[in-house]
Amino acid sequence: RSIGLPIFIRYITPTNPLWMAFGSSIVRLARRYNLATSNFSRFYLFGWDANERYHMHAELGDAFTLVSPGGNWIYVAEPKACWDILKRPRDFGRNLEQLKVLDVYGKNLSTTEGHEWQKHRKITAVTFTERNNELVWSSSLEQGQGMLRYWLERSPQPIRSVADDCKTFTLNVLAASLFSKPYPFEGQEEMKARHTSIENPSDDDSHQYRDSFSRILRGIILIAIFGGETLKTSSWMPKSWNQVGQAVQDFRSYVMTMIDEEREAVRHNRSTRKDLVSALVRASLAQKNEACISEQDIISNTFVYGFAGNDTTAITLAHTIMNLAAHPETQDWIREEIWDHCHDDTWPYATWSKLVRCQAVVMESLRLTHPLGSSSKLTKTTTTLTVNNTTYTLPPNSNVQVNFCGLHTNTNAWGTRAMDWDPARFIDANGQLRAFPEGVYVPWSHGERICPGKRFSQVELAAVLAVLFRGHGVEVVNEEGEGEEEARRRAERVSLDIQMSLLNEMWKPERVGLRWEEVE
Ligand code: HEM
């Protein structure tokens, strides 16, 4: 109360581990049987803030404090205040305690701050270059073709695995961009068939990276609690937990092999790779002070690129496809542009920046459904924050959330139709991407901790949309007794229904069947 912001009381701490594990199922069950009060239904789900978007702020104000038995969280959704927070990393720092789960292979770009972070930033500056983005572009085109082929082969069956297939797509693009490893696209059904035909999937070298990495992503909380070694060797643990431990070791040895191969190639002047690990290896060999970039630095940062770059992009793509299926007129709109710029067989890398409508649909998806939901900050000392011309004093160790979902649907900035799907809002009168006032639209964050993979993901998503929609379209398959329009509105609702696991994802995306067809 001494801060002076409006207060909202929640009787269960958002980070309560038991509630994180079971709370959302309880809320959804209570909703289903009409047992949930309005408050319980709105605010007790894991990922409630992503579902609320600006509604809660419209009731309480552009900033408020969520008060719970285990701590307080300040939510901010006002552009200038958010901009201010993102530009002051010394005052609004990282919540390093919360990020420890990402230290599977040691400290990295995401889990450090101050001098330590600057060291990692310097090391990794060599990685996200245009040279690498060219690789992202070509591998996204290739993987996109594989994914489309897989979906078309199953037609007229409705495809219900779009969200999972998008994760395979991004994992494969990362394999190409991190290690120059090409993998053919493999859809959900194909993957299940392979897993049942191999006794121990981690014995299968060709899928070592992809299988171990996706297993680590799913088991990251277990790894944080027990550590990889204990998980691998404990006989009392379930086999699936042992496999998570094994995956930690597999991924490390996989990256080590990639590092060794590239070192040899560089030493013999044979290196032609454009991938991120190769860039790190070359930088480490070129350094005067050998202790500067260690093997551990390369492994831990490679891991965090994969962690930060995989599901974020896959979730965004799944939402984009779902919304496009609900809006055939937007498909026509982007197809027009794709036809303008992608006519020959080979599409050069420079094409990506011309696909502004494709970028706009991605931006609209991120606006309505952000995979991170918010950027979590922790005040380091007593500090001030001005929201709508009132200055508040925040004590040290206050949790402050830059609430992307609230900010990007703030009706003061986005108007009364803030909740409508309308990608054209991102295009200006000259047909170019619109520039926004400070803090209005920051899905990749801003300031020194801005997402280093921003361009990577923009290139990847523009490429895959061009491949998918150039000669094909997607439609929502009607359920029994449902009309076309109803089916589309259902797809829109499913896209907006979020549940948080590690990130904010569509809840049960398989509720919507999609069908791909060739267009004239
Ligand atoms: C649509 C896709 C993506 C979105 C929306 C996104 C968004 C973000 C945001 C908001 C942050 C700041 C997090 C915070 O303040 O807590 C961040 C950080 C980060 N992102 Fe991304 N990202 C995306 C894709 C990628 C990709 C493809 C990569 C790498 C291949 C990547 C690597 C990283 C890393 C390493 C950080 C931590 C940087 C630091 O702390 O200095 N991201 N991202």
Query: Which atom of ligand 1 is nearest to 124's Cα?
Result: 35
Rounded to whole angstroms, the Cα distance separating 10 from 7 reads 10
Could you tell me if the CB of 302 is within 6 A of ligand 1?
no
Instruction: Flag whether pLDDT at 479 surpasses 90.
Output: yes
Residue nearest to atom 40 of ligand 1 (CA): 110
Instruction: Flag whether pLDDT at 289 surpasses 70.
Output: no
- Give the type of residue at 113: E
Cα torsion 140, 143, 147, 150 to 10°: value is 160
The pLDDT of residue 288 is 63
Assign 205 a pLDDT band (cuts: 50, 70, 90). low
Residue nearest to atom 24 of ligand 1 (CA): 309
Residue nearest to atom 27 of ligand 1 (CA): 309
Q: How far is the CA of 398 from the centre of ligand 1 (A)?
A: 23
**Residue 516 forms beta bridges with which residues?**
474
Rounded to whole angstroms, the Cα distance separating 168 from 357 reads 25
Instruction: Flag whether pLDDT at 241 surpasses 90.
Output: yes
Query: Which atom of ligand 1 is nearest to 404's Cα?
Result: 10
Q: For the whole prediction, is pTM greater than 0.80?
A: yes
Q: Give residue-wise pLDDT tens across range 312-348.
A: 999 999 999 999 999 999 999 999 999 999 987 889 9
The pLDDT of residue 414 is 98
ipTM: 0.99
Could you tell me if the CB of 177 is within 6 A of ligand 1?
no
Mean pLDDT of the chain: 92
Asked if residues 103 and 430 have their Cβ atoms less than 8 Å apart, the reply is no
The pLDDT of residue 202 is 47
DSSP 449: G
95, 96, 451, 459: which to mutate for ligand 1, most atoms within 8 A of CB? 451
Assign 69 a pLDDT band (cuts: 50, 70, 90). very high
451 labelled binding-site residue: yes
H-helix segments, 234-275: 239-267
Instruction: Flag whether pLDDT at 284 surpasses 60.
Output: yes
Joined together, the tokens standing for residue 187 give 């859809």
Which domains can be identified in the chain, with CATH numbers?
Answer: 130-305 (1.10.630.10)
Assign 224 a pLDDT band (cuts: 50, 70, 90). confident
Neighbours of 116 (CB within 10 A): 13
Instruction: Flag whether pLDDT at 199 surpasses 60.
Output: no
